[in-house]
Amino acid sequence: MSTYLRPMVYALAIAVSTLPLFTLPMSTTVWAAAANPVFGKALYTECEGCHAVARNKVGPKLCGLIGRKAASVTGYVYSEAMSASGLVWNDKTLDEYLASPLDKVPESKMEYAGFPDPADRFELIEYLKVITDPSKCK
Ligand code: HEC
């Protein structure tokens, strides 16, 4: 999608999400096609206690996450399990990890249960792509 179209699609997704409940089946279809950044942002609040985009907290900083090798932020001390995971973060690996972090990387130290709902994970990952875009963070 061109950067020109993206804000329009977001505006549409937000507008649709505010329609009355009886239109829910239709709006659910729209969400599957275009991420809703309002939902993504709300889901991301679950991560903010431990993560920031631009600095290490309890967890490593998330800037540049997409395409990044697991356990590659300098200055952050990862678990051995994460360091040895061999993962590269992309749609698929993030989806699997966020479904159940300790099943994907046993013995890692992220104490978070995960999101069982695939639709939630889709929204969150789309939101992560926007806020961790390396051209917008360091
Ligand atoms: C309770 C604190 C906590 C919460 C909540 C949390 N994380 Fe983490 N996260 C961590 C820690 C600690 C690590 C390092 C894991 C390790 O080294 O084993 C980590 C690692 C990660 C990694 C791997 C990063 C890398 O550099 O390889 C990703 C991706 C990640 N978290 C995403 C998320 C997302 C998205 C959320 C919100 C849904 C979230 N985390 C919620 C603590 C947390």
Q: Where are the domains of the chain?
A: 1-34, 44-131
- What average pLDDT is seen over the chain? 85
Determine the distance separating the centroid of ligand 1 and the alpha carbon of 62, expressed in angstroms. 9
- The predicted pLDDT at position 37 comes to 86
Query: Each residue of 25-70: pLDDT tens digit?
Result: 444 444 455 788 899 999 999 999 999 999 999 999 999 999 999 9
Superfamily of domain covering 44-131: Cytochrome c-like domain (1.10.760.10)
Angle at 89 between CA 87 and CA 91, to 5 degrees: 125
Q: Ligand 1: residues within 6 Å at CB?
A: 46-47, 49-51, 58-60, 65, 70-71, 73, 78-79, 81-82, 89, 98, 108-112
Give the end-to-end CA distance of the chain in Å, rounded to a whole number.
24
